[in-house]
Structure 1
Amino acid sequence: MIADPARFVVEQTRLAPVAFVPEIELYQADEATALWHLTEAALDRADLPPPFWAFAWAGGQGLARHVLDHPELVRGRRVLDFASGSGLVAIAAARAGASHVAAVDIDLFAVAAISLNAAANGATIDARQADVIGSAAGDFDVLLAGDVFYDSGFAARLMPWLAALAAAGVTVIAGDPDRTYRPRIAVRDLAVYQVPVHPALEDAAVKRVRVLEVGFCEPLQTGLPEVPGFA
């Protein structure tokens, strides 16, 4: 049993610059499968999610780059980095001048990684283990989400909540490398980047990442045909 997630993160990763966002360093693993199996064995569980926290995923890299290059999106505002993973996007928001940054993830190891990565980059981030889908808007002005549309069930649960937040006045921005279940309507492109990725994680060395602003539309769906001018 792993008694100290932070120590496990440090022992299984190394601090290195992020390929597309070299201003930020993260504790990153060199290989995904071995770390995944090691975590399962140490916790005596075979149902754990992949170690999303140990890598800079394409959607997060693109979104972090966009936030750093367009700090007006978050400057002086309260930011929630949803499904934060490594905390990359949260760190970018803090660097860009957000007044408060919270980073949430359901994985305890991710929370440990976020705290370590924030400290390594001199960023102040409120890292919490929580499932916040369905919670009301109130303590954040901007929601950032990197690479969250990878699973049909998760996207179906997530999108109505994002739509409700947008309708309540929250700015909702996602970074997505053309995942299958990304929204095709009620979104607009803010930017498109060509992002280098870890060869063990993706089917290509470079992924096209769209930075999307999610707006309110009823009904909001995923998996629809391409809509000209949107996705």
Structure 2
Amino acid sequence: MSTTAEFVRAHTRLAPVPFVPELVLHQADEPIELWELTEAAGAEQPPPFWAFAWAGGQALARHVLDDPALVAGRDVLDLATGSGLVAVAAAKAGARSVTANDIDPLSLAAAEVNACANGVKVALAEGDLLESGYADAGVILAGDVFYSREMAARVLPFLRAAAGRGALVLVGDPGRAYLPTQGMVRRSTYDVPVNEALESVPMRRTSVWQGHFTYR
């Protein structure tokens, strides 16, 4: 077992995902403690987004599992995969291939152990695809990526280019401030249970969006 996988297992517990109970995920019991631990590691270590089932990812995973034709037989990229939840759901739904991408090695370790726990395989792509681009996928899935103005400004051109070349682009989002809804189509909306210590509420109204992107 790799050092990163050992760290993931040591700081999480395998449990069903609240809104997608047919899937299990290594999740942190004490989110604030883990967040402080990664902050203490230095500025070069990203926050532990990989240790939680975020609302956008849960909604997107639910949507894909409920409508597997969206991904079945297609090559899928899960952008900024975090825990790998959405990648696992796509693999379960019958995608031909699934690539989980993130800049954080711990995130990719989490995606790998979570895929294993659910009996599926995903490929791992470490690095910033927003810089390099990624033309191999016919479906781009992005859960909860519009959490800051800076991230939104970088993600949008990537998603816009993917949609422009004909890829299906689906975004799961719980109403983050920088989600550009103009020109997008809301496919579904869910009330998703979330970690109250992180979100300050027990439930987030979360939508899955599809479409071409505009940003002002």
Q: Distance in 2 between the 1:46 and 1:171 partners?
A: 35
Residue 147 of structure 2: which of 140, 145, 150 is its match? 150
**1:72 has 2:69 as partner:** yes
Q: Which residue of 1 aligns with 2:215?
A: 221
**1:179 has 2:164 as partner:** no
Amino acid at match of 1:148: V
Aligned 1:76-155 pairs, distance under 5 A: 76-155=73-152
Amino acid at match of 1:125: V
Structure 2: gaps (5+ residues): none
In the TM superposition, residue 135 of structure 1 has moved relative to its aligned partner by 3.7
In the TM superposition, residue 50 of structure 1 has moved relative to its aligned partner by 1.9
Q: Distance in 2 between the 1:214 and 1:183 partners?
A: 11
65-74 or 181-190: bigger deviation? 181-190
Contact 1:162 1:214 in 2 (8 A): no
Q: Distance in 2 between the 1:130 and 1:136 partners?
A: 11
Q: How many residues align?
A: 215
Q: Distance in 2 between the 1:46 and 1:134 partners?
A: 21
Q: Which residue of 2 aligns with 1:225?
A: none
Q: Which residue of 2 aligns with 1:22?
A: 21
In the TM superposition, residue 155 of structure 1 has moved relative to its aligned partner by 0.2
TM (norm. structure 1) is: 0.89
Determine helix, strand or coil for the equivalent of 1:22: strand
Amino acid at match of 2:109: A
Amino acid at match of 1:214: G
Amino acid at match of 1:198: N
Structure 1: gaps (5+ residues): 223-231
TM (norm. structure 2) is: 0.95
In the TM superposition, residue 186 of structure 1 has moved relative to its aligned partner by 1.9
In the TM superposition, residue 127 of structure 1 has moved relative to its aligned partner by 1.6
Residue 189 of structure 1: which of 178, 186, 189 is its match? 186
Q: Distance in 1 between the 2:43 and 2:168 partners?
A: 37
Q: Deviations over 1:144-189 (max 9, x none)?
A: 0000000001101111221111011111100000000001212100
Amino acid at match of 1:49: P
**1:55 has 2:52 as partner:** yes
**1:37 has 2:31 as partner:** no
Q: Distance in 2 between the 1:154 and 1:46 partners?
A: 17
In the TM superposition, residue 40 of structure 1 has moved relative to its aligned partner by 3.7
Contact 1:20 1:65 in 2 (8 A): yes
Contact 2:135 2:162 in 1 (8 A): no
**1:202 has 2:199 as partner:** yes
Determine helix, strand or coil for the equivalent of 1:79: strand
Q: Distance in 1 between the 2:197 and 2:44 partners?
A: 21
Larger radius of gyration: 1
Determine helix, strand or coil for the equivalent of 2:137: coil
Q: Deviations over 1:41-90 (max 9, x none)?
A: 4x4x1453321000000000000000000001000000000000000000
In the TM superposition, residue 33 of structure 1 has moved relative to its aligned partner by 1.9
**1:170 has 2:170 as partner:** no
Q: Deviations over 1:203-225 (max 9, x none)?
A: 31110111000315xxx215xxx
In the TM superposition, residue 136 of structure 1 has moved relative to its aligned partner by 4.1
Contact 1:79 1:144 in 2 (8 A): yes
Determine helix, strand or coil for the equivalent of 2:196: coil
